[in-house]
Amino acid sequence: MNDSPDTDARHRALDAHWRSPPGWRSLSAVNHTAMGRRFMVAALCFFLVGGVLAMLIRAQLATSHSGFLDSELYSQIFTMHGTLMMFMFAIPMLEGFAFYLLPKMLGSRDLAFPRLGAYAWWCYLFGGCILLGGMALGLAPSGGWFMYTPLAGSRYTPGINSDIWLIGITFAEISALCGAVELIATILKMRAPGMSLARMPIFAWYMLITAGMILVGFPPLILGSILLELERAFGLPFFTVDLGGDNLLWQHLFWMFGHPEVYIIFLPAAGLVSTMIPTFARHPLVGHVWVINSVVAMGFLSFGLWVHHMFTVGIPQLSLAFFSAASMLVAIPTAIQFFSWIATLWNGQVRLRLPMLYLGGFLFIFVLGGLTGVMVALIPFNVQVHDTHFVVAHMHYVLIGGAVFPLMAAAYYWMPLLSGRMPAARMGAAGFWFVFIGFNLTFLPMHLTGLLGMPRRIFTYSEELGWDLLNLLSSVGGFVQAIGFGMFLLDIVLHARKGNLARRNPWQAGTLEWTLSMPPPSYNFISIPEINSRYPVWDTPQIGAQIRRGEGWLATYPPPTRQTLSVDVLTGDPRSVIHLPGPTWVPLYGGLATGVFFLSLLFKTYALAMVAAFVTVSLFVVWVWQLAPKGFPARVDAEPGVDLPGHWAASGSPGWWGMACSLAADAALLGSLMFGCLFLSLYAPHWPPPERLGFDALAHGVLVAALIGLCLTAVVASKRTALIMWQAARLACAVAALVVVGVLIARLGSPSQHAYTALMLVVLVYMSIHLGVSLIMSLYAMARGVVHKNAVGGEELRVQSLWVAFTGLSGLGLTVLMLSLGGST
């Protein structure tokens, strides 16, 4: 930062805007660097807890007839191990990397929605604390990380153990969804000028697809968790066979999430690999377009595999064959990526630095996991090894090989950026060999243990079965692995504090984050560069100096606010200047209020839950009100000779994309709900129900008219003319529809009598929540129209109209569903 006095002055001025407050007030930080670090540190803590639990499991299974743990405690431990590793470590750690790296790679000063990122972190932290708190009190869930019913239902697990899982996980999943919305809007809209999709870093492509998968993949589990919690708390019989429910519904909803989840974990890690390998090969990624093609293909195909976890439950043969075919198909895009990495190394001049060691481990282990993946895609083999330790071994080869090894490589690779210091080879290499040998010693014999018939989730076994030696080997390997992880962590911590200072771009990498100083300043880029290639640092070596001299965009001195650029999604042409918010306590308060809501549900204090929900919604309204422009939006000098509008005055803003992504997740939830209704009505025993809602011409007529009215106002009311009038019309439609929904709920009768009434209650509550939010939005827009008349922009109304249109259309779809399931009165 000492290139010239001018640069110093710019640095001080930008830092004054962007730096996070010190001390305890840093809890109000919203900056992506702080959030990324927090996600990573918290995920690491959860990983350590999950790792200790794994050691307890291995200690128990080391010998036959072990009395170290009893059955219940063992069940809690393996459930918590899986839950923490899948939900609290893998995805948050990868999201943390993405939060931290993406703006720096893309040429942005922050993520699209800093407050949302902060809220996501608080939700994640509080959700994780609920789970850990339950475990500390001996109330940990014990039904396995997939919580199958009826075992997880109130009959067989009567305490609050399952509730802790359902509520803690749902809470944490809000975080993942917020993170996904944030990442998509950032990747599509907040890149450096000239960074078209063709020039976008490969890691951003991976994260774009992953975030899209989170939006579609997580809602089925959220719905499943809500339904199971409703059954446990209020007796709504979604999974009770005698009353029209079906346990297979849970399995479908869980694995619609659960299988894509594996790819949601693997793809970001593969994105890290695709970023690191070209650096050490000193060669651009071979087959860049083929790799993107493979990532998109995996994103889609991974949603066609969920039933391969259910091959043994009695689904018709042809349906199984569809899923088996798709399961084998997904190996092709995976292989394309592998060949691309090998070809990049083959064509380049490879430098064997420390991260490459871990990448080598990844390539070896993940290939083995992929091969056993093709084996379990075959129905006859799958039936043989179903629920055995073979599956445990396969899963760990895929997940540790596919995610943990790349993450360890990435930790060393980006350490100079994170800490400003360099790693050293000796201890890191020793740690690698401990982990690598320990891992294979743990899980390679486990394939054999599984083939010999050892089931998963058993806390002891008989000596006569002959599994002792293999299990002992696995346990010894587990502890060797743990020593390796300990060495890795110690090495990272020591070198991050005491290692040699890193110079700029120590690995001679090609991506934009390496133009920054080590560690980077709070605002990332003193000026935002124009990008002309996929590897800007390789192709324009002087780009770093140009950035520091303020020769890029948004280099105005003094900078007026926290500003960064918004660009065209496809071409990367500049479109507007985004004004981002600074530190605030609102996300923390929002997280706390949401936490109180979930805890109230857990302890069945529903009045308090209602209050907490009201406070949460109120905080969101305050949040949006604070961010809304209060005056006529001015254009901004983005570069000498270039004017750009503020983001609220440009169409296709990050806010619009944020709402569109949120609605995509909402649509996935709606689709899952409709699937649940159809599945139970077609397949569950004890249907049709004894009583149905029936058709009421007046009620349904008013409902349909009001919903169509909402859709019409969504089309018309996105213009600023006659704002109050159109909002009033929208309000009237929402109120009318809400009244009818209330009447239908009152007519339903007891929702615990049959799965049909329970489902209809959920459908009507879903509609009423959407109508309620539309109503609040209309009141908000009217208030804005009165208080800040000239400041209400068309984009603001378009964002609102998206929600209203979705409410109208989803309501109409659900009305059709209700009528088709309703029969005659």
Partner 1 sequence: MKRVFGPGEPAYQTGPTLWRVIAGFIVWAIAFLLLYVGHAVACLHAPTQADTAAVSAGLVVLWLALLAITIVLAVRSQRCRRAVGAKGGHQSRFSWRLTLLLDLFAAGAVVLTGLPLLVVPACMS
Provide the binding-site residues for partner 1, judged by CB under 8 A: 196-199, 289-290, 292-293, 296-297, 299-301, 303-304, 314, 316-319, 321-326, 328-329, 333, 568-576, 638, 641-645, 650-651, 682
CB 377 → partner 1: shortest distance, Å? 12
| Burial label, 457 (beta-carbon count in 10 A; 0-12, 13-18, 19+) | middle
Smaller CB separation from partner 1, 76 or 563:
563
Contact yes or no for 774/803 (Cβ under 8 A):
yes
CB 624 → partner 1: shortest distance, Å? 23
CB 316 → partner 1: shortest distance, Å? 6
Smaller CB separation from partner 1, 292 or 612:
292
Smaller CB separation from partner 1, 156 or 322:
322
Smaller CB separation from partner 1, 652 or 749:
652
Instruction: Annotate 237-276 with DSSP letters as a single string.
Output: -SS-GGGT--HHHHHHHHHHHHHHHHHHHHHHHHHHHHHH
CB 552 → partner 1: shortest distance, Å? 15
Which residue from 814, 729, 730, 801 is spatially nearest to 765, judged by alpha carbons?
A: 814
CB 318 → partner 1: shortest distance, Å? 5
| Burial label, 770 (beta-carbon count in 10 A; 0-12, 13-18, 19+) | buried
Smaller CB separation from partner 1, 6 or 637:
637
Smaller CB separation from partner 1, 127 or 572:
572
CB 653 → partner 1: shortest distance, Å? 11
Residue type, 485: F
Measured between alpha carbons, how far is 193 from 203 in angstroms, rounded to an integer?
18
CA torsion through residues 227, 230, 232, 238, sign:
negative
Residue with tokens 């064959």, as numbered in its chain: 321
Smaller CB separation from partner 1, 198 or 724:
198
Residues in the chain, how many? Answer: 825
Smaller CB separation from partner 1, 193 or 268:
193
CB 556 → partner 1: shortest distance, Å? 14
Q: What is the Rg, in whole angstroms, of the alpha carbon atoms belonging to the chain?
A: 27
Q: 624: how many CB neighbours lie within 10 A of its CB?
A: 16
Smaller CB separation from partner 1, 135 or 285:
285
Smaller CB separation from partner 1, 318 or 746:
318
Smaller CB separation from partner 1, 454 or 684:
684
Contact yes or no for 815/653 (Cβ under 8 A):
no
Measured between alpha carbons, how far is 597 from 814 in angstroms, rounded to an integer?
27
515: which residues sit within 8 A by CB, 6+ positions away? Answer: 504, 505, 529, 536, 537, 543, 544, 547
Measured between alpha carbons, how far is 112 from 67 in angstroms, rounded to an integer?
53
Long-range contacts of 763-766 (CB under 8 A, 24+ apart): 763/673, 763/677, 763/814, 763/817, 763/818, 766/670, 766/673, 766/810, 766/814
Smaller CB separation from partner 1, 198 or 786:
198
Measured between alpha carbons, how far is 408 from 243 in angstroms, rounded to an integer?
50
Smaller CB separation from partner 1, 90 or 554:
554
Measured between alpha carbons, how far is 120 from 51 in angstroms, rounded to an integer?
24
Measured between alpha carbons, how far is 171 from 591 in angstroms, rounded to an integer?
10
CB 689 → partner 1: shortest distance, Å? 18
CB 302 → partner 1: shortest distance, Å? 11
Contact yes or no for 89/52 (Cβ under 8 A):
no
CB 807 → partner 1: shortest distance, Å? 23
DSSP β-ladder status, 574-579 and 636-639: unpaired
Q: 746: how many CB neighbours lie within 10 A of its CB?
A: 8
CB 184 → partner 1: shortest distance, Å? 11
Instruction: Annotate 109-167 with DSSP letters as a single string.
Output: SS-S-HHHHHHHHHHHHHHHHHHHHHHHTT----STTTT-TTTTSTTT--SSHHHHHHH
CB 369 → partner 1: shortest distance, Å? 22
CB 208 → partner 1: shortest distance, Å? 10
